[in-house]
């Protein structure tokens, strides 16, 4: 190993990743989490929360296009969008790329993180925070959704995995997804960042899918390979009406053009469809997965059991 400063991420007690650091941009703590923003030799600027990688400059567009645009395309004409989490502003950026969107509300519990990302990671938001269609609310998402009367065409959950004692544990439960469905307009869609989909650490991914199936008539898990995460990553799309697999490639192309999304760097029409094709080990686990509830919450540290 070459000399220099290295940052170590303990993914689990059995898996350790090392990154060579070119520059420490910020290191500190908010009320809710440890925050490190580093410039790495391969990934460029990179955000770590509680010493776990969240987003890297080299491929954040892959993650955020995969999270946002399957839902945007499946709905086809979403005007009002709710983003839960997404402190870097890149999810908001991708939502606002769709010409149909007239209003986007982003709710994040950690205002300190949002400000740090605006200051140190402007490449992520690219002016999205200043867009007149955008509104940023610093609040607990559970509190927000229980107290708002607003309804949305699309809800995007861009939260960290549920760690013991963390604020996101109750935001992956059947009860919470039931609340979200109540705040969807007719034909509404939700997409959820759902953790790793590799052969060993995919229990959370399939558990989120099983939980959404308790609430929504259409649930489609899908995946993308995220280079900076060193593994394939899982997402779930749930809909009150439209099944994305009912869309053929011609219709997907039509919707992409109508929404002004021709310049997407990752998601192509054929990739949209193929991302819902899952390997046998995931399909097998989906059949056995149990829903997550407030009485039986999921803690990501248990996912290796």
153-168 pLDDT per residue, tens: 999 999 988 888 778 8
Range of lowest pLDDT (42-46, 49-53, 181-185, 298-302): 298-302
139 assigned to active site: no
Is-contact 237 190, C-beta < 8 A? yes
Cβ pair 37, 115 in contact under 8 A? no
pLDDT band at 304 (very low <50, low <70, confident <90, very high): low
Q: What is the pLDDT of residue 85?
A: 97
Mean pLDDT value across residues 266-283: 98
Confidence check: pLDDT of 90 > 90: yes
Contact 173, 181 (CB under 8 A): no
Q: Is the C-alpha dihedral spanning 243, 151, 124, 39 positive or negative?
A: negative
Q: Stretch 30-42: mean pLDDT, rounded?
A: 95
- Of 294, 266, 280, residue with least CA distance to 206: 280
State the pTM of this model: 0.96
Q: What is the dihedral of CA 298, 211, 287, 191, to 10 degrees?
A: -100
In this predicted structure, which of 79-88, 117-126, 143-152, 295-304 has the lowest mean pLDDT? 295-304
| Tokens encoding 58 | 């080299």
Kindly tell me if the per-residue pLDDT of 221 is higher than 70.
Answer: yes
Which pLDDT band holds residue 300 (cuts at 50, 70, 90)? confident
2: pLDDT confidence band, cut at 50, 70 and 90?
A: low
Residue ranges covered by each domain of the chain: 6-56, 60-302
Summarised one tens digit per residue, pLDDT across range 91-110 is 999 999 999 999 999 999 99
Q: Which of 158, 243, 246, 248 is catalytic?
A: 158
pLDDT tens digits, 4-25: 799 999 988 889 999 999 999 9
Q: Are 235 and 67 in contact (CB under 8 A)?
A: yes
Beta bridge partners of 65: none
pLDDT tens digit string along 51-78? 999 999 999 999 999 999 999 999 999 9
- The label of the residue with tokens 């500190």 reads 28
The pLDDT value given to residue 127 = 97
Q: How far is CA 237 from CA 118, 211, 243, in A?
A: 28, 12, 9
Asked if the model's pLDDT at residue 305 lies above 70, the reply is: no
Residue 179 · residue 145 · CB < 8 Å: yes
CATH architecture of 6-56: Roll (2.30)
Q: Which residue has the tokens 């499946």?
A: 74
**Alpha-carbon span 170 to 99, nearest angstrom:** 33
- Residue 11's pLDDT is what? 87
Enter the CATH code of domain 60-302: 3.40.50.150
Is residue 302 pLDDT above 70, yes or no?
no
Is the pLDDT confidence value at 260 over 70? yes
Location of structure tokens 């010493």 = 51
């Amino acid at each position: 190993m070459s000399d220099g400063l290295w940052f170590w991420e303990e993914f689990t007690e059995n898996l350790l990743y090392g990154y060579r650091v070119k520059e420490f941009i910020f290191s500190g703590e908010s009320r809710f989490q440890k925050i490190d923003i580093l410039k790495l030799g391969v990934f460029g600027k990179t955000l770590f929360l509680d010493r776990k990688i969240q987003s890297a400059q080299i491929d954040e567009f892959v993650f955020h296009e995969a999270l946002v645009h399957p839902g945007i395309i499946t709905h086809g004409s979403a005007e009002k969008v709710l983003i839960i989490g997404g402190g870097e502003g890149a999810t908001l950026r991708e939502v606002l790329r769709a010409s149909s969107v007239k209003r986007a509300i982003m709710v994040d519990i950690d205002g300190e993180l949002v400000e740090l990302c605006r200051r140190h990671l402007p490449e992520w938001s690219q002016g999205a925070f200043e867009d007149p269609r955008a509104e940023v609310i610093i609040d607990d998402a559970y509190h927000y959704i229980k107290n708002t009367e607003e309804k949305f065409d699309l809800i995007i959950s861009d939260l960290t995995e549920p760690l013991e004692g963390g604020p996101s544990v109750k935001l992956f439960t059947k009860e919470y997804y039931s609340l979200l469905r109540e705040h969807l307009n007719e034909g509404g869609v939700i997409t959820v960042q759902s953790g790793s989909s590799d052969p060993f650490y995919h229990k959370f991914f399939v558990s989120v899918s099983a939980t959404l199936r308790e609430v929504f008539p259409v649930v489609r898990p899908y995946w993308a390979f995220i280079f900076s995460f060193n593994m394939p990553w899982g997402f779930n799309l749930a809909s009150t009406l439209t099944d994305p697999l009912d869309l053929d490639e011609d219709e997907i192309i039509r919707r992409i053009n109508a929404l002004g999304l021709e310049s997407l760097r990752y998601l192509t029409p054929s990739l949209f469809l193929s991302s819902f094709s899952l390997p046998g080990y995931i399909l097998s686990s989906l059949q056995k997965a149990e829903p997550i509830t407030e009485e039986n919450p999921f803690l990501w540290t248990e996912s290796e059991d």
